[in-house]
Amino acid sequence: MKRSMSVIFVAALAMLAALPAAAQMRALSDPVVAHPDPESLFNSKDKKLHRNKQAALRIMRELLQCNQWDRAGEWLTDKYIQHNPMAASGLAGVKRYFIEVAKRTPTPTCTKLTSPVVAVQAEGDFVTVLMVREYKYADDPTKSYTTTWFDTWRFVDGKADEHWDPATLPAPPPPAASAPAARPDSVLAGTLEDRAAIEKLMWSYDRALDSYNPDAYVTKFTADGAFGRTAGREALHKMVADLRKGRDDRIAKGEKVPAMRHFTMNQFLEFTSPTTARYHYYRQTVFGTGGAAGSPDAPRVAASGNGVDDLVKVNGQWLIKYRNVAATDDL
């Protein structure tokens, strides 16, 4: 029996290898199903476990679902250690990101958790929440499959002091087509016209973002262009439109919203072919109108890092194919 099962397994692998790549990209698992009453899972007869579970519920409901990030200190400690590679540690940084950078609009009334929770497990100082995560098939976006996401928190005196999840850095762009074995220096240098066009493209990109103009913003990308995991002009348009709505809602409430400015510095333009290039740079996102240090209008750096963008020339126009602001390359 063991031998026959091995033969069957090897034969199955051979059949899969012979199929087209798209045919192999289908989930084999049973679907992940959410609990019908997720909030009921955040209770425990043990007083300590119940307290920690209830704090996890508030993080998920009031913060992650309803975006009441001005209240984050009620359930997160000041040092709040992050193990998500896209997030920095510290309560102040968490609040600044969601309130000032992401511009998440809070839902004033938040009474029911709607997240697709599968299970909640608590032991000692730890609480783990398992949730349904749905993904579209790359070759057929009309169909999808489910898998499982988790968040784990370690609690100290009823507040989350440390957090884990399976998040990863944005996926790199697809590999470029193979270039000729030898390229003349003139190709690597690029023409003056190409350099001027790319310089204008990258300046106008920052300007469109800083002016919250989704219509202008999407024209800087190819039709399938991406910013991190946000791909396609429709999704990119919504991303900036949501930022603008968040700003406008704050202004409507009488808040003074500081100007947003994106700075691109120490640029290096690398031509990889006559119609493709990589744009290396350092970046900063700054809020404030330029007041003196210590004043309410003093500039505040909200984000910084380095990026590498892939550019392509389409019908004579340079556009962004993939914008990666979490790059780690060294030249």
Element (H, E) at 8: helix 2-18
Range with the lowest mean pLDDT among 80-89, 154-163, 167-176, 296-305?
Answer: 167-176
Provide the pLDDT confidence category of residue 128 given band limits of 50, 70 and 90.
Answer: very high
Q: How many residues appear in the chain? A: 331
> Greater confidence, 95 or 34?
34
Q: Does domain 185-324 sit in CATH 3.10.450.50? A: yes
Element (H, E) at 216: helix 214-218
Question: Which residues make beta-bridge pairs with 322?
Answer: 226, 310
Residue 104 burial (CB count, 10 A):
19
Read off the pLDDT of residues 112-123 as tens digits, 9 standing for 90 and up.
999 999 999 999
Would you give the DSSP letter of residue 99? Answer: I
Read off the pLDDT of residues 174-187 as tens digits, 9 standing for 90 and up.
665 554 444 555 44
Mean pLDDT, residues 253-266 taken together: 87
pLDDT at site 100? 82
pLDDT at site 101? 75
Mean pLDDT, residues 187-213 taken together: 87
Mean pLDDT of the chain: 84
Res. 3: pLDDT tops 60: no
| CA max distance for the chain | 80
pLDDT at site 260? 86
Provide the pLDDT confidence category of residue 93 given band limits of 50, 70 and 90.
Answer: confident
Res. 54: pLDDT tops 90: yes
The answer to whether 89 and 173 have CB atoms below 8 angstroms apart is no
Provide the pLDDT confidence category of residue 159 given band limits of 50, 70 and 90.
Answer: very high
∠ Cα 228 230 234 (to 5°): 145
Domain extent listing, the chain: 25-164, 185-324
Burial of 254 (0-12, 13-18, 19+ CB in 10 A): exposed
The CATH-assigned architecture of domain 25-164 is: Roll (3.10)
- Fold match between domain 25-164 and domain 185-324: yes
Res. 2: pLDDT tops 60: no
The DSSP secondary structure of 15-63, one letter per residue, reads HHHHS-HHHH-S--SPPP---SSGGGGG--SSHHHHHHHHHHHHIIIII
pLDDT at site 85? 83
Q: How far apart are CA 204 and CA 206, in angstroms?
A: 5
Read off the pLDDT of residues 274-318 as tens digits, 9 standing for 90 and up.
899 999 998 888 887 666 666 667 788 878 888 899 999 999 999
Res. 12: pLDDT tops 60: no
Res. 244: pLDDT tops 50: yes
